[in-house]
Structure 1
Amino acid sequence: MTSHTSRSRVTPADWLVPAGLIALSLVPIAAGAARVSQLAAGAAVTADNVRFFDSPIPVIAHIVGSSVYLLLGAMQFSPALRRRAWHRRAGRIAAPAGLVSALSAIWMTLFYDLPSSVTGPGLSAIRLVLATAMIGAIVAAVVAIRHGDVPRHRAWMTRAYAIGLGAGTQVLVLLPWTVFIGTPGPVVYTVLMGAGWAINLVVAEVAIRRAGGRTASRSPHRPETAGARLS
Structure 2
Amino acid sequence: MARYRHTEVSTAHPAWPQRGLWALAWGLAVAAMLHFLWTTYWKYAPQDAAAYGMFWTRRAWLWTHVGGGAVTALLGPMQFVGRLRIAYPRLHQWTGRVYLCAMLVACTGAAGLIVTSLGGRAFQIAFAATALAWLVTALKGYTAIRQGRTQVHRRWMIRNYIVTLAPVAFRLALQVPGVMALANPAVLIPTLLWLSWALPLLVYELGTAATRWARRAPSPQGDPA
TM-score by length of 2: 0.71
SS of match in other structure, 2:77: helix
SS of match in other structure, 1:176: coil
Aligned match of 1:7: none
Alpha-carbon spacing, 1:62–1:159, altered in 2? closer, same or farther (3 Å): same
8 Å Cα contact 1:69-1:97 kept in structure 2: yes
AA matched with 1:78? V
What are the residue-to-residue correspondences of 1:198-209 with 2, within 5 Å? Answer: 198-209=198-209
After TM superposition, give the deviation of residue 71 of structure 1 in Å: 1.6
8 Å Cα contact 1:18-1:75 kept in structure 2: no
Among residues 87, 102, 111, which one is paired with 1:84 in the alignment?
87
AA matched with 2:77? A
CA RMSD in angstroms, aligned pairs only: 3.2
SS of match in other structure, 1:60: helix
After TM superposition, give the deviation of residue 163 of structure 1 in Å: 1.4
Whole-Å separation in 2 of the counterparts to 1:47 and 1:64: 17
Ranges in structure 2 where 5+ consecutive residues have no aligned partner: 1-18, 217-225
Aligned match of 1:103: 108
User: Per-residue displacement from partner, 1:118-152 (whole Å, max 9, x unpaired)?
Assistant: x4661210211220221122122112111111122
2:45 matched to 1:37? yes
2:53 matched to 1:49? yes
2:72 matched to 1:72? no
Aligned match of 2:152: 152
SS of match in other structure, 2:74: helix
SS of match in other structure, 1:89: helix
Identity %: 24
8 Å Cα contact 2:44-2:52 kept in structure 1: no
Aligned match of 1:134: 134
Among residues 49, 64, 67, which one is paired with 1:61 in the alignment?
64
Alpha-carbon spacing, 1:208–1:68, altered in 2? closer, same or farther (3 Å): farther
Alpha-carbon spacing, 1:56–1:185, altered in 2? closer, same or farther (3 Å): closer
Ranges in structure 1 where 5+ consecutive residues have no aligned partner: 1-11, 218-231
Alpha-carbon spacing, 1:153–1:208, altered in 2? closer, same or farther (3 Å): farther
Whole-Å separation in 1 of the counterparts to 2:101 and 2:160: 12
Q: Tell me whether 182-191 or 136-145 shows the greater mean CA deviation.
A: 182-191
Aligned length: 195
AA matched with 2:73? L
8 Å Cα contact 1:177-1:183 kept in structure 2: no
Alpha-carbon spacing, 1:101–1:151, altered in 2? closer, same or farther (3 Å): same
Alpha-carbon spacing, 1:120–1:94, altered in 2? closer, same or farther (3 Å): same
User: Per-residue displacement from partner, 1:74-128 (whole Å, max 9, x unpaired)?
Assistant: 22233323323243332122121122222321221112x44xxxx4661210211
